[in-house]
Copies of this chain bind each other. A is one copy, B any other.
């Protein structure tokens, strides 16, 4: 397979598209688009969120010690992209996007109502990475959209319709087809003794 060298860069995908909601010490909320976010531990459940330290969201999280990672559905691509282009210091992103907030259960940062999955996090540590900060947050509660739950058990991916971000290509895509069941598909290669 012929390949081309890109050098040291941040081209990597697929990534999640999320909106991170936060609140400052005065109770003012903000929204920021983030794709550098993912699970880092199960003991306890922990999420890692990396963001530029100049961000209002970073300042908010430092002030109040919490944040919420809200999954972006494909129907909100415009709103999500907008929240990555503007700063909460200059714009009321909630007003412009028409998104709604509701109280979280365990943290002061709000949930985005229109997000099909909300992950409530308590800041536990911070790693200095040049201009960026990797914030680790213990997951205290997750809310998932009711219509995703199948009566026979399990969840329907298309009910979430998650927006996939392709870092480096700078494109948003939706999901296509289910390819395989994880933790099962690979047993086809098990050797019979």
A residues with a Cβ closer than 8 A to B are 1-16, 35-48, 50, 69, 71, 74, 77-86, 91, 96-97, 105, 113-114, 116-119, 125, 127, 129-132, 134, 136, 138-147, 149, 154-155, 157, 160, 162-191
Contact = CB atoms under 8 A, between A and B. Distances in A.
Given A14-B14, A171-B178, 18 more contacts: A3-B144, A4-B143, A5-B143, A6-B142, A7-B142, A10-B42, A12-B39, A13-B71, A14-B175, A38-B50, A40-B48, A41-B132, A42-B132, A74-B179, A77-B185, A127-B136, A171-B182, A172-B179
26 contacts: A5-B143, A7-B141, A8-B141, A11-B142, A11-B144, A13-B157, A13-B162, A14-B14, A14-B15, A36-B39, A36-B40, A40-B50, A41-B50, A80-B186, A81-B184, A82-B186, A82-B188, A83-B186, A84-B183, A155-B169, A162-B166, A165-B182, A171-B182, A172-B179, A174-B179, A176-B176
Contact of A40 (B9, B119, B129): B129
Across the A-B interface, give the 3 residue pairs with the lowest CB-CB distance, nearest first: A43-B130, A81-B186, A82-B186
B170 A173 contact: no
B169 A185 contact: no
Given A165-B182, A169-B157, A142 B5 contact: yes
Contacts of A8: 44-45, 138-142
A116 B166 CA distance: 14
Given A16-B13, A176-B173, A1 B84 contact: no
B162 A1 contact: no
Given A36-B38, A77-B180, A143-B5, A157 B175 contact: no
Contact of A130 (B42, B78, B131, B180): B42
